[in-house]
Amino acid sequence: MLQLGEEVTLYSVIFVVVLLGTRSPVWTTVLTASLYLFLALFRFPQLPAGRVQQVLHPDKGAAGSGRVSAVAHRGGGQDAPENTIAAIREASKNGATGVELDLEFSSDGVPILMHDDTVDRTTNGSGPLSQMRISDLRKLDAAAKHRLREKFIGEKIPTLEEAVEECIKLQLTIYFDVKGHPDESAAALKELYRKHPVLYNSSIVCSFEPKVIYRMRQSDPEVVTALTHRPWSLSRFGDGSPRYSSLWKHQWMTLMDFVLDLAHHHVLWKLCGISAFLIQKNFVSLDYVEYWAQRGVEVVAWTVNTKVEKEYFHELLQVNYITDSLVEDCEPHY
């Protein structure tokens, strides 16, 4: 009922807006009907709740932390060099339910773990990934810029394959964060799921880009997926400061943010058939969790970095959260 009511509202709003814009009842009807048909024909169905539960709330036995999963952001960038095998081991040791890992590619097309599109921030090398072969990347020190580098000497940039094998061995759930390259990423992940079918029950593919998730489900509709969102991300940085100094540009991007937010909450989730919605923690409330629950979608919050906040998400909201550290309070790692 709720879904039906929502769809009627959605198409009514679109109808009125297009009618006001075009003043043509014929065009308005054609446009609204096309959108309806498009969604009806091209949407992916959500996956069965049982399998999604297995991924989001793995039963880790008595040693597990209960219903709520704590997921180490980039493997836990505060506790160990981000996106490395050392981080994965450290997260497991410290009781994480899972790890969030960033997928990127070397210039010769090997899937690796890296957050940025250059190696400068985390390694002792310099330059864009798009110009570095896997053999070049392997020579770099992946702990070079970390605060605990003395403890992690010799850490390398792992391939996606190595990282996944380590997670499977340690029974960690994987949240793959895919930033771009929709086609290459979908192909690489599809191959990975074929090789390690256990991932269907123990991993989720997440992206800020709906196109990435859509491509993923086109290449393998059985993969559990999530959209990632930070309201006002087009006009503002993570700390809230404006991205653009030009007032016009800022206003325009704020309007785009508004449209993107509406699209995420009313259209894109359904088109992609997502199972979870990863959202910046400040926007999560009981009502918000309920909004998504009614749509069969689970909220996951990021980045939850203090003890007090973790208790709030764990006990009150009972929402999975992504954190930079399993052991101490820290500032967010953007």
Ligand X SMILES: *[C@@H]1O[C@H](CO)[C@@H](O)[C@H](O)[C@H]1NC(C)=O
| Binding residue (CB under 6 A) for ligand X from 9, 201, 251, 285 | 201
| Binding residue (CB under 6 A) for ligand X from 82, 90, 100, 141 | 141
| Binding residue (CB under 6 A) for ligand X from 67, 121, 133, 139 | 139
> Does residue 135 belong to the site contacting ligand X (CB under 6 A)?
no
Choices 29-37, 64-72, 195-203, 244-252 (CB under 6 A): range interacting with ligand X: 195-203
User: Looking at beta carbons only, is 107 or 124 nearer to ligand X?
Assistant: 124
What H or E segment, with its residue span, contains residue 211?
A: helix 210-219
> Does residue 131 belong to the site contacting ligand X (CB under 6 A)?
no
CB pairs under 8 A, 24+ apart, for 190-195? 190/216, 190/219, 190/220, 190/223, 192/111, 192/160, 192/161, 192/164, 193/220, 193/222, 193/223
Helix (H, G, I), strand (E, B) or coil at 189: helix
Nearest-approach distance from CB 141 to ligand X, in angstroms? 4
> Does residue 298 belong to the site contacting ligand X (CB under 6 A)?
no
Judge residue 55's burial from the number of C-beta atoms within 10 Å of its C-beta, 0-12 exposed, 13-18 middle, 19 or more buried: buried
Nearest-approach distance from CB 97 to ligand X, in angstroms? 17
Choices 73-81, 161-169, 194-202, 299-307 (CB under 6 A): range interacting with ligand X: 194-202
Kindly state the tokens that stand for 185.
Answer: 């990423």
Phi-psi region of 77 (alpha: psi -120 to 50; beta: other; left: phi over 0): alpha
Altogether, the residues listed in the chain come to a count of 334
Residues of span 58-77 touching ligand X by CB under 6 A: none
Instruction: Identify whether the C-beta of residue 152 lies closer than 8 Å to the C-beta of residue 86.
Output: yes
Nearest-approach distance from CB 192 to ligand X, in angstroms? 13
Residues contributing to the site for ligand X (CB under 6 A): 54, 124-125, 139-141, 197-198, 200-201
